[in-house]
Every structure is written in C-alpha cells, then in structure tokens.
Chain A
Amino acid sequence: MVSHDILIVGGGLAGLAAALTSDPKLKVAVLSKVHPVRSHSISAQGGINAALANNPNAKDDTWEKHAFDTIKGSDYLADQDAVELMCKLAIPLMYELDHMGVPFSRFPGGVIAQRPFGGAGYPRTCYAQDRTGQVLLHTLYEQCVKKGVVFYEEVLVTSLVVRDGRCVGLVAYDMGTGEIRSFAAKAVIFGTGGYGRIFKLSTNAYINFGSGIGMAYRAGIPIKDLEFVQFHPTALYGKNILISEAARGEGGYLINNKGRRFMEDYTPTVMELAPRDIVSRSITTEILKGNGFENAYVHLDLRHLGREKIEKRLPGIQDICIHFAGLDPVDTPIPIQPAQHYSMGGIDVDKDCASPVKGFYAAGECACVSVHGANRLGGNSLLDAIVFGKIAGLSASRFINEGGFAGSKDAEIDGEAGRLTSDFEGIRKRDKGHNVYRLLNDLKILMSDKAGIYRDAKQLREGIDGLGRLREAYKDACIYGSCTRFCQEFVTLVEFDYMMDLAEAILRGADLRTETRGSHFRTDHPKRDDESWLKHTLAAYTEKGPVFSYRAVNVDKYKPQERKY
C-alpha cells in the first residue's frame, strides 16, 4: 500500500491548482486516469472572467458587478457569499496566472485583453486567443513540474474509502500494470470533472463519465443540484464539438432558415449574448418551430467579422470547422445545435471545499459550492476550477497540519481493494451477459430523450423507469475483452455503475423540482417559484436509491428578481 498525506484525484485545472497550493512539507500526489495535460480542462476555449476593467468599455467594472452578473445568471440559486469570494479572488488570480506564464492576449498598451461574454454586463473575459483552457492547463502543469509534484498517471480511482465519517484512502485500477491498488491518505481532494458523456450529445471529452461524483455519493457525501445541467448553445452539428461563446462575444450572429437573427425575438437587448440556458432554449424553440436547417440546426454566422479578426481571435474555431466540418467560417456559416456542456451540480462542499466527511474535499466541475446555481455563465468555469482548486489544497493542508487526522486504517483500504478485486474476478468469469458499451449507449439516449433542455413529469418518470431496467441489465454485464492492462472495457464497467447513480439523481431531482429555474425548464411548470424552490437539492445515497433533502440558498445583497436580458 502506498501512503500519502494528500491525494488529489484528477489532473485538470482544479486538481493541479490544489497540488500547487498544498503545503510543500506534506507528501502530496495527483492521480489521473489520463496524463494531466489530456484532461478536459484543455478543451475550454473562450476565456476566464475577472473584473480587471482593462477593456475601454469596462472602465467602471468591479468584482461586485461580476458577482451580480453571476448570481443573476444562476437564476439566484448560487450562494452569494461563495460567488463574492470567487469574483473577488479572480482579480489577483489573473495577475498570478500571468506571472506563472499564461500567455493572455493583450490590448494595445500591453495590459491583459478582455472580451464580452454572455450574461455579463461588461467585457471582462480574459483569454489567450480561443485556447484559454489549453494555456491554463499547460501553465499549471508546468508549475507542477517546477514544484516537483508526484503524479500517478493512467490510474483510475474506483472507490473512496470512508470510515467513521473520515476519509482514509482510495482504491484504484492501475491501467499500466492491470492491478487494483490501495492508497492511504490523510486527506483526499477530488477534481474529477463532470459527467457530460452521460448524454448522447455532449461537447465533453470522451473520458468525462463523472464517476468521481458517484464515488463521493456512494461514500456517503451528498450530491447537490444535479438536476441543473448546462446545454451549450453552439456545438458543431454532427460532431458536437464546442464552438466557443467567444464566437458570439466577438460579434457572431445566430441565424435561422429565414435568414433572421432570431435572438431578437427572445432577448432583444443583448441578442446573442444572453446566458447559455436562454440561448439554448431559443435555438431549440426555433428548430421545433420549423425554423432550423434540416430540422436540426441553425447557423452561427461569423462571415461579417472578416478573415483577419477570425484568424487572430478565433483561430481554434476556424481550425475545428475546417478539419471537422470541412468549412471555413470566413466564407460559410457554421451549423450548430445545443449540446450538453457542463454540470452545475456536484459533490456538496462549502466555501472551503470541505464536505461533511472529514478529510474529503472537492473542487471544480465535480463539486458544487455553489457558485453557478441553476446556470453557469461562460468564463466562470475555469475561474471556479482554479479558485476553488487552490482553496481545496489550502484547506486539506490546514486540516492535516492542525492534526485533523487520527491515524491510518490500512487494513480497511486493503479490504476494500480485495472486495473489488473479487467482484471483478466474478464478472470476468461470466462468459455471456450484457455488453457495457451497449448499456452506456442506451443510457446516453435515455438521458438525452428524458432529461434534456425541455422536461416534464411524464418524460422524467419514463426516464426513471428506463434507468431501472438498465440497472437490472448491468447486474449481468460481462467483460468480453481478455485484457488486464489498459482494459478500457473494465474502466467503462466501473464508471458506468456510478453514472447510473448520477442519472438517477438528475432524473429524480428534476422530477421533484416542480418549477423552472435556469437550465432546468419544466414545460409543465414554466415559472420560477422562489417561495417553494429557492433552495438547493441534496441527494444522499441509500441502497434503495437517493433520499432527498433541501437547503436554503445563501441570499445576501442581491434579492431575487425576474431574470430579464
């Protein structure tokens, strides 16, 4: 058994940020199922928000205004104290990242450039062309190399070991050796990302199964607000590859088959720069009304921006369009449709990233503090991941340094590893049963059909029933591949189990929440209902399924008002 002070799971922005702030005197390691630079943070394009007030049109921007936009964007479900903390920390964070080497684009005069983004009152999104996630992830990885952080790469964590309300370690599948290994730790930080691939159409990387959220849930940590799923308005039709909000921030138009900028009918003041939930619904409505192309997509038109601006500000988008759709946005509009993009919900943690289980912390998309509430604004996910990743590293270090850990329980972790190994030996012995890739495909279709952009009680309940049938089928899933090393079928088998738990929390949480708020749109309850529902959903694991409870939202300076753009 390997033993560490802090184990960080996930090598994306949240995990790496946590590694960087962890006390260097402690023995820290990062476990990741891929090499860290392959993590999904790399795919973020458009930027990261901070009220630097560098844009000539944003001279009077402040972090308070950033907080207000975030809270309004969240449809008032975000906790206001947490949002204020994030927005305040954003400003010094940009200068820190700049000093670490992030090659932010510049304005004339040499200051960090800022562009407009959806739902933001001021142009406050900092960026490096349209490769912001890539440069941030690479830079944080570089800083980890400098610090000498220990990495376990291509190691999939399969379960979290919690005893007596305390996190004591992990069990993991080491893909390189094919072994199930146990790891003891005094504290564990999850930065395991979202579950995008639970849906059929998703902008997310193929690896985004969200099992980390499921592991925490099984280990007894509640999961929060899972019914709030973000659908990004502009995913490339056919491939679902993200076409950054920066394309609209730089002035792109959304056009229907009548040749009209249809956002005029929905949000005439801000047009294409409304928050994502509203733009996604508007596009879907247009397509349902017959105003789409081939009844499936609308156009994102960048042609009027001109070649120079596209090549300078959106070269990654141009590259994607050329290689994945065979078109150049300089000459041709981009066919786009909404696709699942982000999980607002996640593991229930507080502003210190601490959970109800001692020694367990979470940050980034897998966590729910909550700073995004019912709808996240573009440019706030990179910020959330880094700000709260850093906080998680500090919190876990403080917990250990203050003697919060009473001693290891190696035998229990080994016991868990042994149990898992024998479970899988049992599955391996089956010579027939369900193919897990097929079950996964069925789950994706079910979630897209039953828990998509528009929801109602009938569909959600059909989804719950369908999920029950999948759970039955999973009981006799079979491993068909004969491999033990780099066995991706085994990875899928492990993660799929957790994905079903997340699917259930999404479906049941959405069924219970009889209102419309942010990304959660109930056609049978189309109004927001603050009196009954200005509260977070908490789902706790039991063997019979989730048990739901609710917690009041932290409302401070910003009183809920109708959300108009």
Chain B
Amino acid sequence: MSTIFKILRFDPPKDEQPHFQEYIHTPKPGDTMLEVLKDIRDQQDPSLSFRYSCREAVCGSCALTINGEIGLACRTQFEALKTDVVVIEPLPNLEIIKDLIVDFKPFWDAYNYIQPYLQPEGEAPPKGHCVDEKDMEEVYQFITCILCGSCYAACPVATRDGRYLGPAALAKLYRFAIDPRDKRPWPALARVDNPTGVWGCDTVFRCNDVCPKEVRPADGIEGLRRRMVVGRTKHLFGRKK
C-alpha cells in the first residue's frame, strides 16, 4: 500500500531552516524503516542523506525519530507502525549536519570524558585475569550498549543542559566500575560526582525506555551514585587518617 513519508530535510548553509519533504512510496512486505529509506533514496531522491552500516541493530548508526518515537531505523518494522503517514526526523538533542544526520560531538565528548577504558593494575597476568563468571555477567548488561545515542537524544536533562554527560557515557563508566579487573583510582570516578555527572539525572528513565538493547543506563547511573556516596565517605576517612 502506498504510504506518505514525511522526511525532515536540512542542508545548512544552503537551507535557512529545516523543512519536511513528502515522498510517496510502497514498501515491500517485511521492510524495515532503513530499507524504506534506502529505497526512497535509490529510487526517488539520491540527495537524501542518513547514516547506516550493519542493518542488524549492532553498529548504532541509524537511530532516528520515527512517528515521534526514538529507535533504530534498521529494527523498526514498517508494518508495525500501522499509519498512513510516517514522519521521519533526526535524533533530538544533537545538531543537524544534513537531513537525518546529526552531530554526535557532545555524545563523544562525554564518552571521552569518563576515561572509557579499563584501568587495570600492572601487567597482564600470564594466564589472563581470574574473573568469576557471575561478575562478568554483571558487566554484560552494559556492554550490549551500541553507542547509538538514543538515550542521549531522549534525555530531558541533556535537552536543557548541554554539559550533562548523558546516560550512555555514565553507564559506560559504571561498566568499568563493576569490572573486577578495573582498579581506577577514586579521582577517576569522582569526575562524575557533580551536577553534570551522576547527580544531573532526573530519574525519569526515558533512557531505559528508548534503549534498543535493553541496557537500562539509569541502572548504571544509580549504581554510580551509590559508589559516589561510599567512595566519598571512604576518601574523607582515608584523608583524616
């Protein structure tokens, strides 16, 4: 059935402001929204730009706003939308570079800020680290994050304060904090012990709702908050001694 797709177009500085362009297209049975977008581009308008890569919900390229809902285009089934008009917009909270492509700079700045790498002690043990199976499985909730930016785009705190690190970066830090191999010093964790870090979260859990990989980033923020309280006390106590 032919459907109207209203797609946000913007090519600064050529265009003064974003506008919607309408395309009439008949998706094939079983098409995902990414397949729909590719067909519209290939058959009707090659100037339409959007990001994509794996088309199997693991590379994190194609998060968009579809009929007002944030999600991965590659994993959104057209038929499941059940509307005659489909509105496609880029992710909110990030500046548009062109059409559906947004500037991830604030997202990556936050990622870089938390020191997103394991900080173990000493050299690699000759037979690898000894890690309990259960402890490693705790980490798995967070390593499924595909860095798609959906949570950042949905976060109301990020909307009003561009300095807020956002859910993905904080959940990433928590992933290291609970990894038994990680021995980062207290100051590395305390970098987020402030209103642009863990205390900025409004606990409205939009991040948990929109995450396509069920990471539940807010669990990570919650966990970091507990660490902050405990760490601060320990640190003060240590200093007194």
Give chain A's interface residues, CB within 8 Å of chain B: 34-35, 37-40, 42-43, 52, 94-96, 98-101, 103-112, 128-129, 131, 134-135, 138-139, 142-143, 145-146, 176, 205-207, 238-239, 241-242, 316, 319-320, 323-324, 435, 437-438, 479-483, 485-489
Contact = CB atoms under 8 A, between A and B. Distances in A.
Interface stretch (B81-89, B95-103, B154-162, B186-194): B95-103
B46 A437 contact: yes
Given A38-B60, A176-B97, A207 B53 contact: yes
B61 A43 contact: no
A35 B127 contact: no
Contacts of B99: 486
A205 B55 contact: yes
Nearest to A176: B97
Nearest to B42: A437
A146 B140 contact: no
Contact of A128 (B124, B133, B143): B143
Max chain A C-beta neighbours (<10 A), residue from B48, B55, B111, B126? B55
B143 A485 contact: no
Interface residues of B, number: 59
A100 B131 contact: no
Contacts of B24: none
B101 A134 contact: no
Contacts of A38: 51, 53-54, 59-61
10 contacts: A38-B59, A38-B60, A43-B59, A98-B129, A106-B133, A128-B143, A207-B52, A238-B30, A320-B57, A438-B42
B61 A146 contact: no
Interface stretch (B112-120, B199-207, B216-224, B225-233): B112-120
B118 A106 contact: no
B147 interface: yes
A428 B208 CA distance: 46
A63 to B, nearest CB: 15
A34 B61 contact: yes
B174 interface: no
B46 to A, nearest CB: 3
Contacts of A486: 49, 97-99, 101
B125 A95 contact: yes
A101 B176 contact: yes
B163 interface: no
Given A95-B125, A99-B120, A99-B124, A110 B56 contact: no
B124 to A, nearest CB: 4
A108 to B, nearest CB: 6
B98 to A, nearest CB: 5
A323 B129 contact: no
Nearest to A437: B42
A95 B124 contact: yes
B67 interface: no
A474 B10 CA distance: 30
Given A37-B59, A131-B144, A482 B116 contact: no
B179 interface: yes
B126 A95 contact: yes
Contact of A481 (B45, B97, B182): B45
B167 to A, nearest CB: 17
A483 B49 contact: yes
B115 to A, nearest CB: 8
B46 A142 contact: no
